[in-house]
């Protein structure tokens, strides 16, 4: 959840695998952004390598010899995040001791806030104040401590959508998004699939002592036909899984996870546009804008829920995380009955 203070083992652009035009442009952009002091917002689908890019920016910046501290805002309860961010003062609560938070520990370096749109809005306001003032106050304390950090944040959807649906404060968005990077999904750079596959095969050959030479023609064809909703992470997992079964020099279809082959056969992750229609949403045009948007959002979720088979499927259809979906279910007091 939190990366070590040392920057010696962080990724650089040399670790970004691919020769496609989108990846070439991404590497060039990273080098330009690295030379700036401005905050950076990275957005892209799950598995596209957002932390890899964040570490590369830090590694090529003037802050590279200082700390790079990372935290996944969606993985830690809000009640703990505040003390992790800002530190604590002895006696502020039972068991509290004087300790630095990550903003103090990263002074001179970089703070990486992964999935910042999952952070509680009240905590977002406190992070905004730290950015604006360049000072941090420990939980339970009164002393303002000057800090100098660069903030790199990520969202797993277009940030303006996060602002519109109320999961990212607009004022914070403007502070963290001076520079923006959108990461390309694997389906939009399929020419990199072969080189990525070779890279992961070489990696797992070293780890397992095997001598796998590559994919057979059927697997290669299947890989190029997939949309890879999990992107590079899903491809890596598929190769790792295949290494548990492969007995020959080439990975064959029988070595590939069944669920991956089902995606190839049934296009399970794609929408059947022939079944979709443009729904008619009934929104009272006399409502205030926020209430009208909430009314539309509620109906929009129900519309897609009718076709979804599970909460995971519904989150995918809405292009949001499961955590955000749970937040909206609680917010609107929704109830669903799925087949799975």
Looking up tokens 């979804």 gives: 308
State the CATH class of domain 187-266.
mainly alpha
- Residues paired with residue 71 on neighbouring β-strands, in sequence order: 113
Residue 283 has pLDDT above 80, yes or no: no
Residue-level pLDDT at 83: 92
**Over the stretch 58-110, which tens digit does the pLDDT of each residue have?**
999 999 999 999 999 999 988 899 999 999 988 777 677 889 999 999 999 99
**Over the stretch 113-171, which tens digit does the pLDDT of each residue have?**
999 999 999 999 999 999 999 999 999 888 999 999 999 999 988 898 899 889 999 99
Interval 311-336 mean pLDDT: 82
Q: What is the pTM of this model?
A: 0.75
Residue-level pLDDT at 90: 84
Mean pLDDT of the chain: 88
Q: Give the range among 23-32, 167-176, 219-228, 285-294 with minimum mean pLDDT.
A: 285-294
> By three-state DSSP, how is residue 49 classified?
coil
Dihedral angle over CA of 313, 317, 320, 323, nearest 10: -20
Radius of gyration of the chain (CA): 23
**Domain 13-184: assigned CATH number:** 3.40.50.300
Residue 265 has pLDDT above 60, yes or no: no
User: Among 1.10.860, 1.10.20, 3.30.450, 1.10.10, what is the CATH number of 272-340?
Assistant: 1.10.10
User: Taking the domains of the chain in order of start, what are their residue ranges?
Assistant: 13-184, 187-266, 272-340
DSSP per position, 240-281: HHHTTT--SSEE-GGGS-HHHHHHHHH-TTS--TTT------
Residues 6 or more apart whose CB falls under 8 angstroms from that of 1 comprise: 71, 72, 75, 76
């Amino acid at each position: 959840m939190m990366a070590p203070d040392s920057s010696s083992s962080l990724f650089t652009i040399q670790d970004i695998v691919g020769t496609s035009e989108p990846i070439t442009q991404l590497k060039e952009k990273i080098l330009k952004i690295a030379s700036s002091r401005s905050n950076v917002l990275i957005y892209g689908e799950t598995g596209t390598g957002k932390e890899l890019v964040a570490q590369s920016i830090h590694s090529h910046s003037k802050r590279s010899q200082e700390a790079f501290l990372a935290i996944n805002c969606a993985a830690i309860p809000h009640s703990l995040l505040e003390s992790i961010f800002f530190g604590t003062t002895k006696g502020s609560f039972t068991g509290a001791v004087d300790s630095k938070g990550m903003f103090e520990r990263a002074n001179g370096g970089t703070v990486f806030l992964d999935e910042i749109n999952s952070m509680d809005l009240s905590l977002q306001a406190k992070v905004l104040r730290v950015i604006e003032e360049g000072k941090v106050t420990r939980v339970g304390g009164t002393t303002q401590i000057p800090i100098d950090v660069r903030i790199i944040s990520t969202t797993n959807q277009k940030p303006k959508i996060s602002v519109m649906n109320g999961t990212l404060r607009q004022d914070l968005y403007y502070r963290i998004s001076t520079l923006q990077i959108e990461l390309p999904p694997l389906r939009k750079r399929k020419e990199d699939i072969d080189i990525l596959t070779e890279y992961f095969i070489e990696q797992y050959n070293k780890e397992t002592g095997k001598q796998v030479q590559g994919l057979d023609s059927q697997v290669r064809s299947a890989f190029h036909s997939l949309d890879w909703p999990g992107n590079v992470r899903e491809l890596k997992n598929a190769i790792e899984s295949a290494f548990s079964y492969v007995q020959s020099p080439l990975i064959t279809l029988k070595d590939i996870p069944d669920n991956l082959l089902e995606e190839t056969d049934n296009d399970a992750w794609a929408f059947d546009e022939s079944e979709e229609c443009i729904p008619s949403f009934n929104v009272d045009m006399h409502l205030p804008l926020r209430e009208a948007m909430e009314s539309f959002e509620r109906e929009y979720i129900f519309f897609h829920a009718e076709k979804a088979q599970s909460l995971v499927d519904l989150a995918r259809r809405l292009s949001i995380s499961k955590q955000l979906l749970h937040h909206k279910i609680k917010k609107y007091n929704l109830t669903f009955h799925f087949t799975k």
